[in-house]
Structure 1
């Protein structure tokens, strides 16, 4: 158990004398978060279910330090006493950030505040080289959706028919995608409501930077307009207008600007379905069914893209 290694964890990262070590206080799709309190402050300790790539963690930590220096509100990464970003404690690889208190996820965050934060992030983003990870650019495609729906139907998935009925709309939306990159910069790429949170003090906090990397700013702008717009054209316009007014470099002008959003929608649904098929307990199946349902309940379609472009035009 990681909890028995509190003192070693604190020593490896130079955090001072431990007062408490509790967890997991949060679980995600790829790991867990523990809270470590010491005489110097509070820290979030993250573990992985699968061993991470050290080079990737080094790169995303350097990027986090860049954005932190530019004033983007986010937890600060903490390095070990010898300057590393990872430490293996009790046979478990882990990393540490300063602890921040955040409120529950909320897609109803003030769109002006969201637009202002994204503008700051994009204004300070360093150039990035491609290619962009296929997760953010590739459609599932007709064959992929057909295979998935057939497997779900054979396994008796309660949402198989619902997904099958939606496939024509998903394919129609995928036809809008264009993976030929223009100007790429380093973006967060995962600022859904679970990773962009309000704080008790009233600000916003950008969490979980492990998926950061090359993207077009307009692609990330589209993602946040849809995630925090909640289907309301007034909220779409407000977020976009404040982003532009705060010096954000992107504009939503054409359907290709929604490529990242549509690609990630398809990838998440596909992963959730595959995990449902591989699940061995009712709890795991229910968890993955709920994950897929988030997108089945409010899919991003060609009509959605057209409505957003009409709302923010001019």
Structure 2
């Protein structure tokens, strides 16, 4: 953290930073996170973000006021705002909660129950005027569809003059090309169907995979990174456990019974689960493929992105799970 940013934290939030350590997290290239220590002996997560929307801060502040455990409240600025601006990006501060990010191996039944309870609490919060401005799910996935088509065009044009990593990801894409095109077609059809039968819209996290979950003692969990908060059918969140869980928890170790015990009785719509699973699969596939083909990235980043593409296309990967969900609905083979 440079001196200018530390000064901005002091000016906006009244915190004197004495140490700051950058933290690697997530896949958002527009976000940077630090673990900072302040003169009064406390620790905070300081984040600069250019992605998502500030609406997630409103959600977390509201949930924290309602006493929902597992949702960290953002600090307010000296003038009562939930964020400040630094170099054109959103600057936020929340208490540092835990060093332990969730993964399937570390999740115990108590964690899965708390995870379900946190999502249930978010989905139950009344949509008051302050939350009515959240983005709304419209089942059009227009940006994802356009990006998939553009990535397909780019990678099909790759020839022997391209560098190694671009050639490799192009080969992966072409090998999966029929499935990708069919998946986009089926998702388009499901979106058109769902636009004709609206569902209740609830406050959703939007991206509650295990990487956005921190673990604490006694089964404590905290759900972080609410930048993608959205008003959507509850399946938008439930897809991560009840639809695509095996892809988001390594080797499929999902304790669905414990999650349901925390969430409460629910019968998610399998069509909505399949839709959101398909959109996520396409979004991940095009974005990570584009990262591999980006010659401006480091070789390490490109290698990591290629591994993720391999995983997405593997038998237990997200593309395969989306295809399976559509097949279960009888929507894949015709």
Query: Smaller-chain TM-score range?
Result: 0.7 to 0.9
Confirm whether residue 81 of structure 1 aligns to residue 100 of structure 2.
no
CA separation in 1, counterparts of 2:181 and 2:259? 27
Q: TM-score, normalised by structure 1?
A: 0.78
C-alpha contact 1:173 1:302 (8 A) present in aligned 2: yes
Corresponding residue number in structure 1 for 2:64: 68
Confirm whether residue 209 of structure 1 aligns to residue 219 of structure 2.
no
C-alpha contact 1:3 1:23 (8 A) present in aligned 2: no
Confirm whether residue 270 of structure 1 aligns to residue 291 of structure 2.
no
CA separation in 1, counterparts of 2:283 and 2:234? 20
Using the TM superposition, give the Cα deviation of residue 138 of structure 1 relative to its aligned residue in structure 2, in angstroms.
6.6
Corresponding residue number in structure 2 for 1:254: 270
| Cα pair distance change 1:132/1:93, threshold 3 Å | closer
C-alpha contact 1:136 1:261 (8 A) present in aligned 2: no
C-alpha contact 1:135 1:263 (8 A) present in aligned 2: no
Residue 159 of structure 1 aligns to a residue in which SS?
helix
Corresponding residue number in structure 1 for 2:123: 122
| Cα pair distance change 1:7/1:308, threshold 3 Å | farther
CA separation in 2, counterparts of 1:196 and 1:290? 23
Using the TM superposition, give the Cα deviation of residue 209 of structure 1 relative to its aligned residue in structure 2, in angstroms.
0.5
CA separation in 2, counterparts of 1:24 and 1:294? 27
Match among 230, 253, 261 for residue 242 of structure 1: 261
CA separation in 2, counterparts of 1:117 and 1:278? 37
C-alpha contact 2:206 2:237 (8 A) present in aligned 1: yes
CA separation in 2, counterparts of 1:91 and 1:220? 30
Corresponding residue number in structure 1 for 2:310: 293
User: 1:166-194 CA deviation, whole Å, 9 max, x = no partner?
Assistant: 33334444415325242212210111121
Corresponding residue number in structure 2 for 1:197: 214
Using the TM superposition, give the Cα deviation of residue 136 of structure 1 relative to its aligned residue in structure 2, in angstroms.
5.3
C-alpha contact 2:113 2:261 (8 A) present in aligned 1: yes
User: 1:272-293 CA deviation, whole Å, 9 max, x = no partner?
Assistant: 2223222323233223323433
Using the TM superposition, give the Cα deviation of residue 139 of structure 1 relative to its aligned residue in structure 2, in angstroms.
5.9
Corresponding residue number in structure 2 for 1:12: 12
Match among 161, 168, 172 for residue 178 of structure 2: 168
User: 1:248-290 CA deviation, whole Å, 9 max, x = no partner?
Assistant: xx52233233222211221122122223222323233223323
Q: TM-score, normalised by structure 2?
A: 0.74
Residue 24 of structure 1 aligns to a residue in which SS?
strand
CA separation in 2, counterparts of 1:284 and 1:308? 37
Range moving further from structure 2, 290-299 or 260-269: 290-299
CA separation in 1, counterparts of 2:304 and 2:32? 16
| Cα pair distance change 1:119/1:167, threshold 3 Å | farther
| Cα pair distance change 1:138/1:80, threshold 3 Å | closer
C-alpha contact 1:276 1:289 (8 A) present in aligned 2: yes
State how 1:129-208 maps to structure 2 within 5 Å.
131-132=136-137, 140=145, 143-144=149-150, 146-151=152-157, 155=162, 156-174=166-184, 175-176=186-187, 177-178=190-191, 179-180=194-195, 181-208=198-225
Corresponding residue number in structure 2 for 1:21: 19
C-alpha contact 1:9 1:89 (8 A) present in aligned 2: no
User: 1:47-81 CA deviation, whole Å, 9 max, x = no partner?
Assistant: 23x4x68xx42x32211111222304122201110
CA separation in 1, counterparts of 2:151 and 2:87? 42
CA separation in 2, counterparts of 1:240 and 1:173? 28
How many residue pairs match? The answer is 299
CA separation in 1, counterparts of 2:305 and 2:159? 16
